[in-house]
Structure 1
Amino acid sequence: MAINIELIKSLNGRSDKQVATANSLGLRKIGDKTCQPDNPQTKGKVKVISHLIKVTEA
């Protein structure tokens, strides 16, 4: 299984940890989308930046 993640809010003014987490998922600009495996590591990253992204099942 996999999840689709889309960045819907800007990374400007966010903490270094949040920006690094978004970058590790491949999200750099608003509107960027990525498909990631549905595992505990990805879920932890999603939790850190949940207020900046939209997550859907793939």
Structure 2
Amino acid sequence: MAKVKITQVKSVIDRPKKQKATMMALGFKRMHQTIEREDTPVVMGMVKAVSHLVKVEEA
């Protein structure tokens, strides 16, 4: 499977609980953190839900 690099570029402060939970489920703990995940439909669905908070690129 392909991998994607996901970087948090905006804060989760003043965001709905659902978006905060999605960011935590992806593995984010702080700003400008980059994580690497498999390119699965589940992960990409979570990324789509918080696309305004993250930057995605191919690994």
Q: Give the shorter-chain TM-score range.
A: over 0.9
TM score, norm. by length of structure 1: 0.96
Offset of 1:28 from its aligned partner? 2.0
> What is the percentage of aligned positions where both structures have the same residue?
38
Which ranges of 4 or more aligned residues in structure 1 deviate by more than 2 Å?
none
CA separation in 2, counterparts of 1:34 and 1:23? 12
CA separation in 1, counterparts of 2:6 and 2:28? 9
What letter matches 1:27 in structure 2?
F
Residues 1:44 and 2:45 aligned together: yes
Alignment of 1:13-28 (within 5 A): 13-28=14-29
**CA RMSD across the alignment:** 0.6
CA separation in 2, counterparts of 1:24 and 1:33? 14
Match of residue 8 from structure 2: 7
After superposition, the C-alpha distances for 1:5-54 in whole angstroms (9 at most, x for unaligned) are 00000000000010000001111211111000001000100010000000
Offset of 1:3 from its aligned partner? 0.3
CA separation in 1, counterparts of 2:23 and 2:29? 7
Equivalent pairs, count: 58
